[in-house]
Amino acid sequence: MQSSKLKKYREILERKRDELLATIPARPPAAEPGSKSGDWIDQSSQESDVYVQLALKQTDTKVLRAIEEAIHRLDQGTYGICMDCENGIARARLDAVPWTRVCIDCKEKQKT
């Protein structure tokens, strides 16, 4: 892959990483599950918010880890190569999900 394309992907990955890191402390601390304030509807809503925020944080953590791995692959010269079949990953897939580890064919195989 051309060095200009690699530089573009590095910039995208680093921007997304910085964006995720910036949003982590911006989320307000939620009430602990089981804390009692307000009526039962308020309590249910608070607990639901806690679980949603935890799920979002887990998703952000997974994406952040994938981004860090993609940056490492850029450094190692293996970026854009499928980790399963070792074929090249289509540029359209890298444009859509620049932190992807696998080509579209291998991703489809993983789903089945």
pTM over 0.75: no
Is 56 domain-assigned?
yes
Q: What is the mean pLDDT of the chain?
A: 83
Residue ranges making up the domain that contains 53:
3-25+42-111
Is 37 domain-assigned?
no
Please compute the mean of the pLDDT values over residues 83-96 and round it to a whole number. Answer: 95
Question: What's the number of domains the chain is made of?
Answer: 1
How do residues 56-77 score in pLDDT, each as one tens digit? 677 788 999 999 999 999 999 9
Is 32 domain-assigned?
no
Non-local CB neighbours of 110 within 8 Å, separated by 6+ positions = 102
CA 14 to chain centre: 12
The Cα–Cα gap between 34 and 98 comes to 39
User: For the packed helices 3-23 and 40-76, what is the interaxial angle rounded to 10 degrees?
Assistant: 150
CATH of the domain at 107: 1.20.120.910
Is 72 domain-assigned?
yes
